[in-house]
Amino acid sequence: MPAETHVERGAFGPDDVFAIIRERLAEILEIDEDTIRRESSFADDLGADSLALIELVEVLEEDIGERTVGFSFDDEDLAELHTVGDAVDYVMARLGTTG
């Protein structure tokens, strides 16, 4: 099996996922990464609208999908993601790990 198709389940931990989300969200919202915490609400604390969240999901699918085959968000699950921590937990669950 070619190396690029091999999926290593333990490749991401919660801190890794948080770092990716934080970096990408800061770019999308044009804010300082230091203002983004796990407990930050997308709408209330960060001012992210639904378009910003869709952009975040697309970037995460691309970034994480490069390292894990078949990673994606289910569109119907997006309404359940209210905080950055919710997004981290969701990604970890989709990767088949807990944290």
Residues with active-site annotation? 49
Rg (CA), the chain: 13
Nearest in space to 42 (alpha carbons), one of 12, 88, 82: 82
CA 37, CA 22: separation in Å to the nearest integer? Answer: 8
Burial class (CB in 10 A: 0-12, 13-18, 19+), 95: buried
CA 16, CA 54: separation in Å to the nearest integer? Answer: 20
